[in-house]
Structure 1
Amino acid sequence: MQGQLISRRSFIGAAAGAAMAFAGLGLVGCGSSGSGNSGDAASGSAGAALSGTVTAVGSTALQPLCEAAAEQFMAENAGVQITVQGGGSGQGITQIAQGAVQIGNSDVFAETKLENASDLDKIKDNRVCVVGMGPIVNSDVTIDDISLEDLKGIFTGKITNWKEVGGNDEDIVVINRASGSGTRATFEAAVLAGEEAPFDFKPQEQDSSGTVTKMVSTTPGAISYVAFSYYDESFKALKVDGVDPAPENVEDNSWTIWAYEHMYTVAEPDEATQAFIDYMMSDEVQSSLVEAQGYIPVSGMKVEKDADGNVTTL
């Protein structure tokens, strides 16, 4: 039986032109028979039919790639059902640490969310790709480039009108992600650099990247931030300090707003879960689907970032 998509929302990944990225609640189903490109990892050990149920919860930035890969994996493995859901990186890390799901998707290191070392010992980090993130604005905003300092001013409530940064006389409508979002954590680490917004600055918050893109595209004067995989023609993506939001600029850290995409599992995952992780790391996904969906293979990075945000050249 072909894998069945329960609900989805389509977006165009900037790095891939017209690649489709699914950002709805998720997908549940089972695929037609066949063997994966990663050999036994995708079709069961020693040729045995692979079966099982895998639930992946967390990062909405990673959700489009995870859904697309799950559809392909299920098409090659008739006995496996995969469900992909959002909810934010914090939820993904919490649920995998609690053993409530098979995979916790996250844009941030688990060390930043889990305080107990015992919880960290329960899980295994699988960095499946890198994602660039950047500021997006409604198409009526007249600027195309913004300084990092002005971006900080907007997201700390100090700059409230676009004319203050060279744009038209128009109020700035800030749209944030919810506090558990890994996209928000990544953006704030790179842009705010530890500075906190005043208590009385309370922009609206949205729970998913898909909702953010809809809000920005339909709200005059709006600004927010999403992963490159959500970029499309319904809004404008800004340069920062003259640097284009492009994969090649992420690779050498010229574009500093980026993160690894982690798919956390328990320390010893079940066979179906491990097979799906192996498939995510296979050439079939890394050499085609990752870039087609607007992400960056880890192998292409010229720098490395640790859990504390320190960047070193490889």
Structure 2
Amino acid sequence: MKKMKSVYLLAVLALMLVVSTACGNKNGDNKAASAGDKSSSSSESMVISGSSAMQPLVAASAEEFKKQNPKADIQVQAGGSGTGLSQVSQGAVKIGNSDVFAEEKEGIAADQLVDHKIAVVGMSAAVNPEVGLKDISKENLIKVFTGKVKNWKEIGGKDQKVALINRPDSSGTRATFVKYALDGNKPVEGAATEDSSNTVQKLIKETPGAIGYLAFSYFKENSGITPLSINGVAPKAENVIDGKFPIWAYEHSYTKGEPKGLEKEFLDYMMSDAIQGELIPSQGYIAVSKMKVERDAKGKITKK
């Protein structure tokens, strides 16, 4: 009888061990599955749209980010600052890039957006090299864009008809240029209007007598266009930093609410030393930390 009890007890213990092992493996499998299901936010996808002046910087940053995070899918589109602000407000994109403060755009609920100042962009007028000018007074610049000067020979250039190239109302580059270069005077109607800064550059290069306006980042050595100094002040980063050159704007990346997931990771990356200290200056932009002056949404400039 004792022997049978011992056998029975051993059988029960063996059964309990099997059940315990099976349960342990099941729990372990569940934990492993759970850990496998939890993916990094850098494996998400995200669309960014807006400012075409900012597009080269954001696109280059996205490429560098994806080298470190190959599963991340980031699409960078242009369309103008107004488009970026509208789309991020509607939730159509995760990040909306803008050359202007959201408060400056009508129909945008700025209080729902969070502003991330990524860089500063300088802008100036640029002409076809055959125009024969490298410097222009602000007074004459306003006359050119308001149609009062119709031939370049009137202000010391070649005998060529002025061909204006403009940006649409949604463009932050246009808003910045009109506000700070033209003192609020609107360009004459009938000028060619292009959505993309890339197209503006191409048209200035190919069109005799052409003038348009672009971010410094488009003033490459081989761009085929001539950037204009304003009142003798060259369109260079150091002149923007010191507050000597007036045509500049913050490059804003707006999110709807506080960023999270991939959008937060990417914006944090945009503020890293690799981007702020290296890529931004190499792309023709200015790091915010370098500025000796700052500007508010109303355009008021103060020294830091």
| Aligned residue-pair number | 265
TM-superposed CA distance for 1:79, in Å, is: 2.4
From the CA coordinates, give the structure whose radius of gyration is larger. 2
1:204 paired residue number: 192
For 1:179 and 1:266, the matched residues in 2 are separated by 23
User: Where do residues 260-299 of structure 1 align in structure 2 (5 Å cutoff)?
Assistant: 260-299=250-289
1:214: how far off?
Answer: 0.3
Q: CA deviation at 1:195?
A: 2.5
Cα deviation, 1:76-100, whole Å, max 9, x if unaligned, reads: 1122110000000000000111111
> RMSD in angstroms over aligned alpha carbons?
1.6
**What SS does the aligned partner of 2:72 have?**
strand
Structure 2 residue identity aligned to 1:61? A
1:95 paired to 2:87? yes
Distance apart, 1:49 and its partner CA: 6.5
- Supply the distance in 1 between the matched residues of 2:260 and 2:246 (Cα, whole angstroms): 36
Q: TM-score, normalised by structure 2?
A: 0.84
Compared with structure 1, are the counterparts of its residues 94 and 48 closer, same or farther at alpha carbon in structure 2 (3 Å cutoff)?
Answer: closer
- Tell whether the 8 Å contact from 1:49 to 1:79 is kept in structure 2 after alignment: no
State the identity %: 49
Tell me the residue number matched to 1:67.
59
Query: 8 Å contact 1:121–1:267 — kept in the other structure?
Result: no
Q: TM-score, normalised by structure 1?
A: 0.82
* Structure 1 stretches of 4+ moved >4 Å: none
- The equivalent position to 2:103 in structure 1, one of 82, 98, 111, is 111
- C-alpha deviation, 1:238, in angstroms: 1.1
Cα distance between partner residues in 2 of 1:193 and 1:168: 26
Give the corresponding residue for 2:137. Answer: 147
2:246 maps to 256
Contact 2:146 / 2:186 at 8 angstroms: preserved in 1? Answer: yes
Q: Matched residues in 2 for 1:96 and 1:254: separation? A: 33
Secondary structure at the counterpart of residue 50 of structure 1? helix
Partner-residue secondary structure (3-state), 1:171: coil
Which stretch of the first structure deviates more once superposed, 188-197 or 82-91? 188-197
| Equivalent position to 1:231, from 210, 219, 222 | 219
Whole-Å Cα distance in 2 between the matches of residues 86 and 195 of structure 1?
26
Moved more, 49-58 or 166-175: 49-58
Q: Distance in 2 between matches of 1:99 and 1:113?
A: 17
Q: 2:150 aligns with which of 134, 143, 160?
A: 160
Distance in 1, matches of 2:213 and 2:103, equals 23
Q: In the alignment, which residue of structure 2 is the partner of 1:55?
A: 47
Structure 2: stretches of 5+ with no match in the other structure = 1-38
Does structure 1 conserve the Cα–Cα contact (< 8 Å) formed by 2:130 and 2:158?
Answer: no
Higher helix share: 2
Q: CA deviation at 1:122?
A: 1.8
